[in-house]
Amino acid sequence: MNTEYLFPAMTVGVCYYPEHWDKSLWEEDLRRMLDSGITVVRIAEFAWSLFERTEGVFTLDYFDPFLDLCEKMGMKVIFGTPTATPPAWLTEKYPETLNCDITGVKYRHGMRRHYNYNSPVYWEKCEIIIGKIARHYGNHPAIIGWQIDNELNCETDEFYSEADSAAFRMWLKERYGTLDKLNDAWGTVFWSQTYTDWAQIFVPRPAPHAAYNPHLHLDYLRFVSRSCLDFCAMQAKILRAHISPDAFITTNGMFGHMDNHAMTRNSLDLYTYDSYPNFAFGLDVKDIEHNLLRDRWSGMKLTEVRSICPHFGIMEQQSGAGSWTSRMDNPMPRPGQMTLWALQSVAHGADFVSFFRWRTCTFGTEIYWHGILGYDNRDNRRMGELRDFAAKMKKLAPVCGADYAADVALVRDYDNIYDSELDNWHRRVTRQSEDALFEASQLHHTPMDMLYLQPYTSLEDLKKYKALFMPHASIMTGEKAGLLESYVRQGGVLIVGCRSGYKDEHGRCVMEPQPGLLKKLTATDVMEYTLASPAEEEPYAIWNGRRMPMPVFNDVLTPLKGAQVLARFGSSYYAGEPALTEHHVGEGRVLHLGGALSREAAAMILEHLGLLEPFAPVVSAPQEVELALREKDAEKVLFALNYQNKAMTITLHQAAQSLFDGRTMQGDVVLAPYEVQVFRL
Amino acid sequence: MNTEYLFPAMTVGVCYYPEHWDKSLWEEDLRRMLDSGITVVRIAEFAWSLFERTEGVFTLDYFDPFLDLCEKMGMKVIFGTPTATPPAWLTEKYPETLNCDITGVKYRHGMRRHYNYNSPVYWEKCEIIIGKIARHYGNHPAIIGWQIDNELNCETDEFYSEADSAAFRMWLKERYGTLDKLNDAWGTVFWSQTYTDWAQIFVPRPAPHAAYNPHLHLDYLRFVSRSCLDFCAMQAKILRAHISPDAFITTNGMFGHMDNHAMTRNSLDLYTYDSYPNFAFGLDVKDIEHNLLRDRWSGMKLTEVRSICPHFGIMEQQSGAGSWTSRMDNPMPRPGQMTLWALQSVAHGADFVSFFRWRTCTFGTEIYWHGILGYDNRDNRRMGELRDFAAKMKKLAPVCGADYAADVALVRDYDNIYDSELDNWHRRVTRQSEDALFEASQLHHTPMDMLYLQPYTSLEDLKKYKALFMPHASIMTGEKAGLLESYVRQGGVLIVGCRSGYKDEHGRCVMEPQPGLLKKLTATDVMEYTLASPAEEEPYAIWNGRRMPMPVFNDVLTPLKGAQVLARFGSSYYAGEPALTEHHVGEGRVLHLGGALSREAAAMILEHLGLLEPFAPVVSAPQEVELALREKDAEKVLFALNYQNKAMTITLHQAAQSLFDGRTMQGDVVLAPYEVQVFRL
Amino acid sequence: MNTEYLFPAMTVGVCYYPEHWDKSLWEEDLRRMLDSGITVVRIAEFAWSLFERTEGVFTLDYFDPFLDLCEKMGMKVIFGTPTATPPAWLTEKYPETLNCDITGVKYRHGMRRHYNYNSPVYWEKCEIIIGKIARHYGNHPAIIGWQIDNELNCETDEFYSEADSAAFRMWLKERYGTLDKLNDAWGTVFWSQTYTDWAQIFVPRPAPHAAYNPHLHLDYLRFVSRSCLDFCAMQAKILRAHISPDAFITTNGMFGHMDNHAMTRNSLDLYTYDSYPNFAFGLDVKDIEHNLLRDRWSGMKLTEVRSICPHFGIMEQQSGAGSWTSRMDNPMPRPGQMTLWALQSVAHGADFVSFFRWRTCTFGTEIYWHGILGYDNRDNRRMGELRDFAAKMKKLAPVCGADYAADVALVRDYDNIYDSELDNWHRRVTRQSEDALFEASQLHHTPMDMLYLQPYTSLEDLKKYKALFMPHASIMTGEKAGLLESYVRQGGVLIVGCRSGYKDEHGRCVMEPQPGLLKKLTATDVMEYTLASPAEEEPYAIWNGRRMPMPVFNDVLTPLKGAQVLARFGSSYYAGEPALTEHHVGEGRVLHLGGALSREAAAMILEHLGLLEPFAPVVSAPQEVELALREKDAEKVLFALNYQNKAMTITLHQAAQSLFDGRTMQGDVVLAPYEVQVFRL
């Protein structure tokens, strides 16, 4: 594996559940799909009960007639493994296969994803059913790809079953070898937590407060990720042994407590995502402060998806109101939004967009999770949008396989992501800075990527970018620091914030001045630091006479030899002290911000680096419009997306041809509400 | 049974607990009660421990001397069965009798209502104790009636014990016969939920989210109701076998997850309610937006009670501050409020009002649930109000057995009530519309009833009303649609709202255009619908130039042949589209509102129908005053209730005689703060 | 025991964990401590795993080299028993030693204080380890004192294990002898709760609502206290048998559900407290309405500590930001605050101040609970404050052993504290009045003490004060009423509020007019009372034309013979009725306030009594500055503490010498931000 699958053409798909409908509807459904431009359907990912109604009694042929129909009519199929929903008989007979909450209350049959990854019985049952399915369907000519499970780590990404504790112990034995090493790594001398027998170790358990040993918790999250990846790898291995070599293997969604990058690299040919931007308009969303960014926050997720797989697919693209009967309340997408959001996915790198779902289910928990068609099966407004979108996808042929263009990247790694989950201080600064950077990126039309530092990340991966923001890498290793130094020495710009470099790989604090291993790069020292108290005004700094908010947390910087002070604090007892420094290292430079990024700070730093508004020579656009560029060879395609329910005007400073209608435009171009225009530059 | 019990005269009672007091107080207490106008006491409903201190050892004679004293002094008694509070020995020895939370944590001895209805042991123990009590006390001449248990389904109306799962399976077997039928009804093909053995079925259990199969949940609530009704019927049967044929059987309170109508019809002679309007002024009530309606919301409950039993009783009428030591914080009723609320009950149909309680308990959880008397046993202000009220009740003799008069009714059925509990969309529109209709009814002096569509509901039941609002009957059956059609054809007006008719009896969506089975009546089609997003302004429609709010959810209506458009949306992307239509059917008509009712919409529709402010020819009153009419034969008695802490003026347009002071009045009449006037028209 | 330990000099200490650091750091750490003025270190209180790594295998010599080093260098040591953190092997092998939540979910190894006090196994294991430690270290010359456990009842003060129920039964048998007496005391006839076997009795267990029998709950809290005190006494007894007779025994912290007074009297030589005023500036503190009092609220706790032990110690004084990784978010103390808060402790009576902790831990849950030094071990700003504070402590020698001076005390007793926990009404009025009194005391520079009525409290204890506020003694006994009467007769002033005297020792309401046993003292009767409804404006009274808020609850007073009306209600239906009365009894008088204290009412009453602003002849100070006086023999030392981040001016009306710089001052004296001045008067 480890080869990136590329779609041969811009492709439109849909999720379909043959088993939910009378068989008499199948042919007409396929005909209507094909007529509207759909060429791929995903099926079967919740169908275990159909395949194995009782233990060991297999009825594998249910989908045969449907697949034959697809083959006959020219529809391609992505086939799912059914492990997200074990049958009732399985979990009743083997309750050890169930996940539970931290108090040990088991999640019972009746929803989905109630199993744990570490039950030997569940592995065995999964191996059997996947093997059966792979052998039965693996070479059907209609099938172009396979989806493993459904939304791994969705519903919950925490696992507390006995099987998890047992597997956690095994994983720790491999990792540490001896209890002495584990005790040292976890600092168990604190609060008399020393372990003297492996059997004393468990996944997190109830305590008077949820104040777990943070080093144990960090390892626990690594272990959860590993469990999930192993489960995925097991499935991929079985599939690969039986399915057509041309078929790709993927999974869908993007959830927490798992290394999606390693999973994709190790087990998948393609990563696909489920995109539901309409949550931003739902009843359960109260706190979106900036109306300009509601559904544009999905771009943050798409940016993360792109870091996993540059030319990804969307396995589930929202086509209607989203809601379970008991949870989540999205309105119906307004006219144009379904197309807008699908093109948002394409602008960010998707070459395959599959809508969820063909027809709204008439029973079960998801009767309000609308498909394109309603219960009544009639042609409707959203069918019209589907046809329009499919026609546009054909015109987007030049985009297929093209890269999203960005000079700036947000740098992350899983150690810091996991560490920041239990650690309030780490989490607060991280959320603040990452959100602020994305906001600045969107509002100032400055495309941004994400870059995950993985063991296999190379200097070439970093050198794709002119500047890297790694705001709060509390955990820093020599290996990563070395990679960053090489990047800077060869001309890169690195921006780090407060709370950097003070932890080792176990999340223990290093007995050195901050920013620890980054000190050589930043040429700074941190003697004072503090959370911003709610009893004070929000801290700020002054940079060239301009006020720059410094929210959440402040490191007061002491510049060492070679560092220049760019900005100084303007508030609190450290007013006048350095707040932002710059240090030239080799051909590049390192900026150290003594705080978390505000939106203003992110924009001011990008401006200082000459990286703000890179499209300015070509096009001017208001904040309400997102600009994105995909390029391949000499071909450059510019997307302009209007997220507002009103017309917006952009100004082309050079002639450009619309891919959709072929017209060449220059000067002011009006985008209708929710309209997207795509120009060949 | 099934005969409605009628009180021979307007009756005043009180709840009394002889076992809470030194026996030396009994005679004086009864004397003071009789002197103040009380003629009935309710006793014994929490006294199991007194009757059966340890298993099988019965001491049934505790209340004999008290009852003899009552007989001697002329006090009548309602006697309760003690099943709400099993003794400690019972639940300790038989923990399977306990109810539990959804995670299986049992509710232990120490409060009340901690048992489940389905434990065979509990049934057996209840049958024994009720039989013993009924035989011992059943023919005591002081006893006029029996109360079954206390507040069935109070404290909790959810049941998760093992006995409940076992009984649920039995009930489902009876209902569906085969698992195939059950799987089909519940749509278990969704998420691989198919059941292959009855033993796999449970009442709802923990899951990653409380997103249960909605069809299972609907049946679960029906089952909870059935369990409660069976338990009540068991008690009624035993009582009826032993007690005096003249004594009535009742129960008190009105709680959720039970078909109070069927229970009353099947097992009771009389339904009584516990009325505590003072919650509206308590510390735990934050969100009563409209001060005019605080304690008038109790009228909504009384309206529901009236639909169960037109001439009901109040078993517990608030007489003081209400609070447990640890929960619920009502202030003391202000001078006049105790009488006001008692007359609110009478105005709505009560012929019997029994106050809770005689003297405030000096120990236990309810030391702050005040009776008329305080701990100090002295005559007090509220004793004065009791005497005043009792005197008024004598003057209200013409009201006894008279009906509450209303031309308009809100239509409900239990299927839709249960369905709307788990279903967020259904619940939101239902709450909005029902509240808005009641608000409009109160503020515009337009009396309203409720009408429950039950299997035994007849066309005559419907024809009592000129107009029926059935705002959001998501579940619609052919039988009910037929009944509604007959009603309309014979001249009735039916008003339905959005989200009507799209579900079948299992709560599955029908594959038809909405409003499904109601389409023929409404002559409308719904192609577009949406929740109102918090990102948009509140939707509205325009009707004859007036703005009509259309909150929560909108159906965009397409009028079919015969339907007229009355109002059109004024907002969102469907501005200009029909929002309210009218369709003449036979002698009647059907209005279809593409939304949930706002208070304004309810009033505008009533005005359109000529049903708003029916008392206008007789009396004008400000919004702060409730008007109610009870009528029997030619007798019409008008109640005017001032809920405000300030004087209010009503204007009689014709002469009317006050029942309280005999004066004939006309023109302006000033109601003192909290004053109620009652006129013979 | 029972002798109050007095520090021979003002002493500065620090908490230190030798086991957290490489041994090579020990000597340098001790040197730096001594150089900065620290003379005492506390160690070893979480070190069980070091002493007994597996069951019965003891390695007691770990701290020997450290103690020898201390002896050599002249550092004194307080040594802790390690029972707050049992080793993993212990709780895994003996899960019955664990505490659990009310549903029975056990608190597992991994945090601290997860044990219960009543497990026989845990007692045995504790007795063994304490005996071993006491024998090994008990006579080391460096050790001056011993700390029992760590923060008893911290993390949780509720206990629900099986061992607790078993011990509760035993305790109840001793207390009541027979079940009949228990049933009577608990009013179990209510709701059929009668117990017929001791085995039916448990600590509180899950119920449909947390509405436990309040009398059981009152006894439960007494029992929790007794369990904790017995556990502490067991440790003290073992220690005393082995340690040096010169060494003191103490414990630290001050937590709920325990009689700290009796514990100190019975088992300790000294009480020490852990003072963390910086919570007042943390992210989790939203609702500090009055910025003037943020960190001054710690003074309320110090006042309580002083009532336990007049010359107490601070075992943990905040020196840095406080936070666990997952909870609690304090900023770093601003320059000056560390010293300010340490002097706040001294002003309130501490002669020993030990900072938490020397160096910030680099691993475990408390990496953000900062010590004086950071992870990098460099000298820093807070080290400078430490040296400054230590120097000041030397100059405060005249204060050593001096008493805090107050003419006014808040009277409490544990019965009412425990009763007010479950009882909403009792709790609400108590919190309101106690907070208001403290606020008035602080803002009007009127020093206040607390006085707990204990079985051993004498009339002399009361006579130290000119006035006693006992705002809401719902529970009143003849003994306490008698003591209060003697106090008043001999010239004292007693102020009581609403809800006084209506409960007996079991928390049952007495069948008498309120205020029950206090009626003779107040010469008042209460016929009407009510919670203040949120539907009304806040109640108030008028006193000499001034408006006095009467929040939360009102008793309408009827003055009896001898009582004068001072103020009358100005609002609600009892406007014009008496709200505050005064009754002369012997040489003294009793004020009865028909409500909870507002800050204004507290100040007006103090003013009426001539007790407001007692320092006015000597010094004037703004509300922002706290004044405190410590006196011994003829020596009077005045503290002026500026809690603001800005300069404040006080005015000395007589010459006074600064203890810090020796200057004699008069007239205006400017206090810098956070500055404390101390004057010899």
Residue B143's identity, in one-letter code, is I
**C-beta of residue C286 within 8 angstroms of C-beta of residue C20:** no
Can you give the C-alpha Rg of chain A in angstroms? Answer: 26
Candidates A202, A206, A422; nearest CB to C325: A422
Across residues A511-536, what is the average pLDDT?
Answer: 96
The pLDDT assigned to C535 comes to 86
Record: contact A200-C92, CB cut-off 8 A: yes
The minimum CA-CA distance between C319 and chain B, rounded to whole Å, is 39
Structure confidence at residue A434 (pLDDT): 98
Q: What is the pLDDT of residue A299?
A: 97
Chain B residues whose CB is inside 8 A of the A155 CB are: 208-209
- Which residue of B111, B323, B368 is in closest CB contact with C208? B111
d(CA A438, CA A422): 23
- Angstrom distance (rounded) from CA A61 to CA A579: 67
Residue range C132-153, pLDDT digits in tens: 999 999 999 999 999 999 999 9
pLDDT, tens digit (0-9, with 9 covering 90-100), for A426-448: 999 999 999 999 999 999 999 99
- Give me the pLDDT at residue B1, please: 41
What's the gap in Å between the CA of B298 and the closest CA on chain C? 17
pLDDT bin (cut points 50, 70, 90) of residue B286 is: low
Q: Please report all neighbours of B, defined by 3+ CB atom pairs within 8 A.
A: A, C
* Section A180-188 average pLDDT: 98
Interface touch A189/C285, C-beta < 8 Å: no
Question: E strand or H helix at A588, and its extent?
Answer: strand A588-593
pLDDT score recorded for residue C328: 85
Judging contacts by C-beta atoms under 8 Å, the chain A residues touching residue C99 are 208
User: How close A397 gets to chain B, by Cα (Å)?
Assistant: 32
Buried b (16+ CB within 10 A) or exposed e, A573-586: bbeebbbbbbbebe
Which of B192, B504, B525, B556 to mutate against chain A (most A CBs within 10 Å)?
B192
Q: Is C292 exposed, middle or buried (0-12, 13-18, 19+ CB in 10 A)?
A: middle
- Closest alpha carbon within chain A to B188: A364
Helix (H, G, I), strand (E, B) or coil at A207: coil
Bridge-based pairing state of the strands B540-543 and C563-569: unpaired
3 state DSSP class of C172: helix
Is residue A66 within 8 A of residue A358, CB to CB? The reply is: no
- The pLDDT tens digits of the residues spanning A262-317 come to 999 999 999 999 999 999 999 877 655 556 799 999 999 999 999 999 999 999 99
Q: To probe the interface with C, which of A188, A190, A554 has the most C CB atoms within 10 Å?
A: A190
> Rounded to the nearest 5°, which phi and psi values hold at C626?
-90, 140
Cβ atoms within 10 Å, residue C290: 13
Hunting for tokens 């519309």 — which residue is that? B433
Q: Does the beta-carbon distance from C207 to B327 stay under 8 Å?
A: no
Our measurement of the distance from residue A538's CA atom to the centroid of its chain's CA atoms, rounded to an integer in Å, reads 31
Instruction: Give the distance from residue B198's alpha carbon to the nearest chain A alpha carbon, in angstroms.
Output: 10
> What is the C-alpha separation between A531 and A22, in angstroms, rounded?
61
Distance from CA of C643 to the nearest CA of A (A): 13
Give the rounded percent of residues in chain C with a pLDDT score beyond 90: 96
Q: How confident is the model at residue B536 (pLDDT cuts 50, 70, 90)?
A: confident
Query: Higher model confidence: residue C291 or residue C73?
Result: C73
Consecutive H or E run containing C658: strand C648-658
C-alpha span between A98 and B512 (Å, rounded): 39
Contact A88 B512 (CB under 8 A): no
Separation between Cα atoms, residue B395 and residue A318, nearest integer Å: 67
DSSP designation for B201: -
Q: Label the pairing between strands B11-15 and C546-549.
A: unpaired
pLDDT at C289 over 60: no
Per residue in B446-472, pLDDT tens? 999 999 999 999 999 999 999 999 999
pLDDT in tens, A57-70: 999 999 999 999 99
Which pair of tokens denotes residue A281?
């308009």
Q: Residue B199: closest CA among chain A residues belongs to which residue? A: A92
- Smallest Cβ–Cβ distance between C531 and the set B86, B329, B375 belongs to B329
In this complex, which of B321, B325, B364 lies closest to C531 when CB atoms are compared? B321
Q: Do C323 and A424 touch (CB under 8 A)?
A: yes
- From the number of C-beta atoms within 10 Å of its C-beta (0-12, 13-18, 19+), residue B668 rates as exposed
Contacts of C441 (CB under 8 A, 6+ apart): C408, C447, C448, C602
Chain A: partners with 3+ C-beta pairs within 8 Å: B, C
Gap between the Cα atoms of C282 and C277, Å rounded: 10
Chain B closest CA to A418's CA: distance in Å?
Answer: 22
Task: Name the pLDDT band for A4 (thresholds 50, 70, 90).
Answer: confident
Quick one: which H or E segment has residue B13?
strand B11-15
Give CA–CA dist C269/C263, Å, rounded.
Answer: 10
For residue A45, give the chain B residue with the closest CA.
Answer: B191
Range in A603-612, B166-175, B502-511, C326-335 the model is least confident about: C326-335
Candidates A197, A209, A511; nearest CB to C327: A209
For residue B291, pLDDT over 70 is answered with: no
Residues of B in contact with A360 (CB under 8 A): 509
Residue C668 has pLDDT above 90, yes or no: yes
Counted across chains B and C, CB pairs separated by less than 8 A come out at: 183
Which of C427, C533, C536 to substitute to test the interface with B, most B CBs within 10 Å?
Answer: C533
| DSSP secondary structure, B531-548, as one string | EPPTTSPPPEEEETTEEE
Token pair of A45 as six digits: 């990912």
Please name the member of A211, A511, A573 whose beta carbon is closest to the beta carbon of C365: A211
The answer to whether the CB of C426 falls within 8 A of the CB of C371 is no
Residues of C with catalytic annotation? 151, 316
Nearest to B307 by CA among B108, B452, B142: B452
Active-site option among B45, B52, B316, B626: B316
Residues of A in contact with C110 (CB under 8 A): 193, 204-205, 207, 212-213, 216
Neighbouring chains of C at 3+ CB pairs under 8 Å are A, B
CA distance A516 to chain C (A): 10
Residues of C in contact with B377 (CB under 8 A): 511
Distance from CA of A178 to the nearest CA of C (A): 16
C318 in helix, strand or coil?
A: strand
Residue keyed to tokens 């959804």? B102
Of B204, B502, B508, the CB nearest to A363: B508
Is B513 within 8 Å of A19 when comparing Cβ atoms?
no
Residues in chain B closer than 8 A to C511 (CB atoms): 362, 375-377
**Residue type present at position A57:** V
Question: Using a CB-CB distance cutoff of 8 angstroms, which residues of chain A are in contact with residue B208?
Answer: 99, 107, 111-114, 155-156
* Shortest Cα–Cα distance, B85 to chain C (Å): 6
pLDDT of residue B535: 86
How much is the pLDDT for B2?
43
Contact C85 A193 (CB under 8 A): yes
Chain C residue with the nearest C-alpha to that of B153: C208
Strand partners, B496: B470, B592
**Using alpha carbons only, what angle is made at residue A145 by residues A139 and A150, rounded to the nearest 5 degrees?**
120
Smallest CA-to-CA distance from A677 within A377, C267, A332, A656 is with A656
Nearest CA in chain A to B503: A362
DSSP-derived pairing of the beta strands B403-404 and B408-412? unpaired
pLDDT > 70 in chain B, percent: 99
SS3 A627: strand
Mean pLDDT of chain C: 97
Name which of A151-165, A313-327, B281-295, C158-172 the model is least confident about. Answer: B281-295
Of C89, C107, C325, the CB nearest to A197: C89
- Please tell me the distance from the alpha carbon of residue A14 to that of residue A22, in angstroms, as a whole number: 18
Over the stretch A225-261, which tens digit does the pLDDT of each residue have? 999 999 999 999 999 999 999 999 999 999 999 999 9
The pLDDT value given to residue C284: 73
Percentage of chain A exceeding pLDDT 90: 96
B443's CB contacts (< 8 A; 6+ apart) are B292, B293, B599, B603, B623
**Least CB–CB distance from B534: residue in A99, A283, A380:** A283
Chain A residues near residue C332 by CB distance under 8 angstroms: 528-531
Tokens of A204: 């997190």
pLDDT for the residue A441? 98
Written as six digits, the tokens of A129 are 């059913």
Measured between beta carbons, the chain C residues lying within 8 angstroms of B368 are 425
Please write the tens of the pLDDT for every residue from A121-132.
Answer: 999 999 999 999
Single-letter code of the amino acid located at C506: H
Give the pLDDT confidence score for residue C534 in this predicted structure: 86
- φ, ψ of residue B90 to 5 degrees: the values are -70, -55
- Contact residues on chain B for A321, CB-CB shorter than 8 A: 530-531
- Taking a C-beta distance cutoff of 8 angstroms, is the pair A408, A467 a contact? yes
- A89 with B573: Cβ contact below 8 A: no
With CA atoms as reference, report the closest residue to C260 among C303, C228, C300, C220: C228
Q: Does residue B552 contact residue B428 with C-beta atoms inside 8 Å?
A: yes
Contact A190 C366 (CB under 8 A): yes
Question: Does the CA dihedral B471-B476-B481-B487 come out positive or negative?
Answer: negative
Joined together, the tokens standing for residue A295 give 């559904």
Beta strands in C338-456 (DSSP E): 352-356, 403-404, 408-412, 448-452
- Write out chain C residues lying below 8 Å of B378, CB-based: 513, 527
pLDDT recorded at residue B288: 57
Q: Residue C2: pLDDT above 50?
A: no
Amino acid of residue C444: H
Measured CA to CA in angstroms, residue A167 lies from A117, A202, A223, A224 at distances of 10, 10, 9, 10
Burial (CB count within 10 angstroms: exposed 0-12, middle 13-18, buried 19+), residue C440: buried
Say how many CA atoms lie within 13 Å of C571 toward its Cβ. Answer: 18
pLDDT in tens, C580-636: 999 999 999 999 999 999 999 999 999 999 999 999 999 999 999 999 999 999 899
Q: How many whole angstroms separate alpha carbon A210 and alpha carbon B666?
A: 71
- Binary contact (C534, B107; C-beta < 8 A): no
* β-strands B578-585, B563-569 pairing: antiparallel
Predicted ipTM of the assembly? 0.97
CB contact at 8 A, B452 and B418: no
Per-residue pLDDT at C258 exceeds 80: yes
- Residue B534 has a pLDDT of 86
What's the mean per-residue pLDDT of chain B? 97
